[in-house]
């Protein structure tokens, strides 16, 4: 894309407001963990010279369509959606594009906005996975029909932030959040040239 981008990356803290996400413990709602981690991720990206927009920087509701349209309107090179779980190790998701997108109705175009960018998304997820493995953090990459990935018109990955070894307190440890966020940011830097070229 010619010209200057205002934001290279968009980071989206999933859930928010009265949509709490998973109950990670009695006290801990997923929406709060995703916001704390998303703020760390923005910081770590910006430390590496990557301008970043945080889509939700407070405890508010956003629909999937709002998240996708706000992202598409700023034309970032990469969209990163953050979830959290009590699992063990990280998961990176890329879109699973619905089959049969032959008609060109407005809804199908919306549902397959991700299709031209899927290989860039997969390559970015692979870069992030390499960095995580270099830090000996277990990671799995997979395709999933996870909204709003299909509606994003740029490279897009969702990451599920989770403790390294099933230790729940990792989820709210700022040291652990910073380690993971810094490692993910390093993976985005590795993919940067390709993302800048829109491939």
Q: Which residues would be at the binding site for Zn ion (CB under 5 A)?
A: 14, 21, 83
- Closest to Zn ion by CB, 21 vs 76, is 21
Q: Which of 15/192 has CB closer to Zn ion?
A: 15
Separation between Cα atoms, residue 131 and residue 109, nearest integer Å? 34
Question: With respect to Zn ion, which residue has the nearer C-beta, 53 or 81?
Answer: 81
Closest CA to 182 of 14, 47, 30: 47
**In whole angstroms, how close is the CB of 85 to Zn ion at the nearest point?**
7
Residue nearer to Zn ion on the CB measure, 77 or 156: 156
Closest contact distance (angstroms) between CB of 81 and Zn ion is 9
**Calpha distance 132→134 (Å, rounded):** 5
Q: Least separation, in Å, of the C-beta of 91 and Zn ion?
A: 11
Give 93: exposed, middle or buried? Use CB within 10 Å, 0-12, 13-18, 19+: buried
CB of 158 to Zn ion, least distance (A): 9
First-residue to last-residue Cα distance in the chain: 11
Which residue's CB is nearer to Zn ion, number 91 or number 192? 91
Q: How many CA atoms lie within 13 A of 106 on its CB side?
A: 0
Strands 139-144, 90-95: pairing is parallel
Q: 197: which residues sit within 8 A by CB, 6+ positions away?
A: none
Q: Could you tell me the smallest distance in angstroms from the CB atom of residue 127 to Zn ion?
A: 23
């Amino acid at each position: 894309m010619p010209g200057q981008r205002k934001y290279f990356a968009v980071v989206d803290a999933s859930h928010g407001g009265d949509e709490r996400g998973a109950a990670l413990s009695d006290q801990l709602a997923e929406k709060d963990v995703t916001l704390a981690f998303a703020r760390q991720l923005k910081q770590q990206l910006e430390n590496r010279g990557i301008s970043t927009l945080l889509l939700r920087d407070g405890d508010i509701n956003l629909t999937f369509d709002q998240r996708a349209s706000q992202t598409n309107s700023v034309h970032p090179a990469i969209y990163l959606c953050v979830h959290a779980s009590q699992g063990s190790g990280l998961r990176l998701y890329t879109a699973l594009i619905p089959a049969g997108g032959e008609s060109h109705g407005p809804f199908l175009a919306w549902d397959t906005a991700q299709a031209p960018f899927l290989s860039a998304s997969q390559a970015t997820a692979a870069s992030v996975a390499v960095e995580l493995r270099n830090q000996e953090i277990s990671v799995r990459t997979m395709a999933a029909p996870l909204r709003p990935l299909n509606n994003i018109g740029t490279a897009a990955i969702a990451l599920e932030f989770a403790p390294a070894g099933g230790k729940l307190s990792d989820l709210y440890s700022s040291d652990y959040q910073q380690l993971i966020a810094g490692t993910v940011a390093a993976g985005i830097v590795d993919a940067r040239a390709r993302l800048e070229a829109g491939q």
